[in-house]
Structure formats: structure tokens, C-alpha cells
């Protein structure tokens, strides 16, 4: 049976604190948490506006709304499809993000809204987001309820003497913003487990372009087209 080591992330110290007596804390870089990023009235407006659009069935009991290009990651192809930009209400949120140095210059080209409801057993399996099209920072706004983002490393942390799987629980308060970058983006898988969805939870994840789609990159022209559409903030779900 595989050994599991459980840690809890502390946003104040940016340490993963051991839940077991024998497990010491260790630095956990690559997570930035901004509590109360949106106000209660903004949350109501966001959810009311989202619920006026169609929610499409997704995997593992989730429903989704996509504002972004159609992407085939296996074939590395991007199509505009019906992509018309990010939604209007996101414009002020993106401007607010720029107040935080961690998000300096953040230009989202895609927004994905996900609706988790416990009666549907909604969850998302441990995964790494693609890094061919999507850039360094993954930005998520968590609304309607608290939850826990579980970061996992199957191969353990041998440098800390931890063999077996390592889990770090990152508490996400209602109305917070969380950013994953660096090791938390590229090395650690992230997931939302069913048992951590206690009532309806809606999140919006924003993704930026990777270097090859930015000026000087191999696909800079396509990147410029995508950003031009995304940042008109007049989009509808595709």
C-alpha cells in the first residue's frame, strides 16, 4: 500500500506544514492567495450573469462555460471557432489583478467557468495544465463556498526523506483569488476532490499565453490575434 504524506499550506508563512508529528514543514513556493478578492455584491452579480448563459455538461459532474479558442493539445492546433473574447464583467477583475506584483503584465487569453455541485459528485482529477499554449500563471477566482485545492506529487520528496505520495491541502476561502506558478504550476498536480465540495462552488480560471505565442515567439502572430479578441471583453461562451 502506497504511503501518503499530508500537509497543509499556510499562506502567511508559505510553508506546507506537516499534519503528522514526524513530518516537518517545508517551503511551498508557487502559490499566491488573495483573500476577499471580490466583494459579496460582485459575487452575486458574477453568478447571476453566468447563470443567464448556458452551462454545458463537462467531466466528473462539472458544468462549464468556455471563453477561449478551440485547442487540440495533442496536435498542437488552435482554432478561433466562435471565440469572441472574455466576458464583460472580467475587465474590472483583470485590472484589479494588475495591482498585485505577482500578476504584473497578466493578459488572459482564456477564461473557463466551472460549476461544482455536491449532488452531482462534482470534482476534478489531479492534473497539470498544458504548457504549450498556456503560460506561467494560472489564476482562479473561487466563489459561493470555501473549498480545498489538493496539490499532489506521486513520486514523493526524496530530498526531504518523504517516499510515497505527498499531498498539500491549500484552503481556498470563498471569494478569494489563487495563483499557481513555478513548481506549483509545473511540478505539482492540482485537484478538487468530491469530499471538498460541500455546497455549490463556481470558479473562474484565467490563462495567459506561453512564450512562443508572445512577441518574438514562433507563433507571435496567432498570439496577437488571440489577445486582440480576448481583451475586447465582449465575449459569449463558446
Which domains, from first to last, does the chain contain?
30-230 (2.60.120.590)
Per-residue tens of pLDDT for the chain, all 238 residues: 678 899 999 999 999 998 765 568 999 999 999 999 999 999 999 999 999 999 999 999 999 999 999 999 999 999 988 999 999 999 999 999 999 999 999 999 999 999 999 999 999 999 999 999 999 999 999 999 999 999 999 999 998 888 889 999 999 999 999 999 999 999 999 999 999 999 999 999 999 999 999 999 999 999 999 999 999 999 999 8
- Residue from 145, 76, 142, 71 nearest 110 by CA: 71
| Distance (Å, whole) CA 36 – CA 228 | 30
Give me the pLDDT at residue 18, please: 87
pLDDT of residue 1: 67
User: Tell me, what's the pLDDT at 22?
Assistant: 59
pLDDT at 208: 98
What count of Cα atoms within 13 Å lies in the side-chain half-sphere of residue 237? 16
Ramachandran category for residue 237: left, alpha or beta (phi over 0 → left; psi -120 to 50 → alpha): beta
With beta carbons less than 8 A apart as the criterion, state whether 177 and 37 touch.
Answer: yes
- 60 in helix, strand or coil? coil
Q: In angstroms, how far is CA 112 from the centroid of its own chain? A: 9
Does the predicted model carry a pTM greater than 0.75?
yes
Neighbours of 143 (CB within 10 A): 21
Amino acid at each position: 500500500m502506497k504511503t501518503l504524506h499530508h500537509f497543509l499550506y499556510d499562506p502567511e508563512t508559505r510553508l506546507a506544514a506537516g499534519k503528522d508529528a514526524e513530518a516537518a514543514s517545508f517551503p511551498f513556493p508557487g502559490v499566491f492567495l488573495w483573500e476577499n478578492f471580490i466583494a459579496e455584491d460582485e459575487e452575486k452579480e458574477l453568478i447571476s450573469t453566468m447563470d443567464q448563459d448556458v452551462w454545458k455538461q463537462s467531466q466528473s459532474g462539472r458544468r462549464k462555460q468556455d471563453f477561449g479558442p478551440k485547442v487540440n493539445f495533442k496536435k498542437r492546433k488552435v482554432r478561433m471557432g466562435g471565440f469572441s473574447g472574455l466576458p464583460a464583467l472580467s475587465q474590472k477583475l483583470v485590472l484589479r489583478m494588475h495591482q498585485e506584483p505577482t500578476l504584473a503584465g497578466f493578459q488572459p487569453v482564456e477564461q473557463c467557468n466551472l460549476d461544482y455541485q455536491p449532488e452531482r459528485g462534482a470534482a476534478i482529477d489531479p492534473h497539470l495544465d498544458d504548457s504549450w499554449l498556456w503560460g506561467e500563471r494560472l489564476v482562479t477566482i473561487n466563489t459561493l463556498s470555501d473549498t480545498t485545492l489538493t496539490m499532489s506529487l506521486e513520486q514523493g520528496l526524496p530530498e526531504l526523506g518523504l517516499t510515497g505520495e505527498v499531498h498539500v491541502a491549500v484552503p481556498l476561502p470563498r471569494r478569494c483569488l489563487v495563483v499557481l506558478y513555478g513548481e506549483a504550476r509545473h511540478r505539482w498536480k492540482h485537484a478538487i476532490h468530491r469530499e471538498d465540495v460541500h455546497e455549490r462552488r463556481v470558479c473562474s480560471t484565467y490563462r495567459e499565453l506561453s512564450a512562443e505565442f508572445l512577441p518574438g515567439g514562433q507563433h507571435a502572430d496567432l498570439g496577437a490575434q488571440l489577445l486582440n479578441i480576448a481583451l475586447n471583453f465582449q465575449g459569449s461562451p463558446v
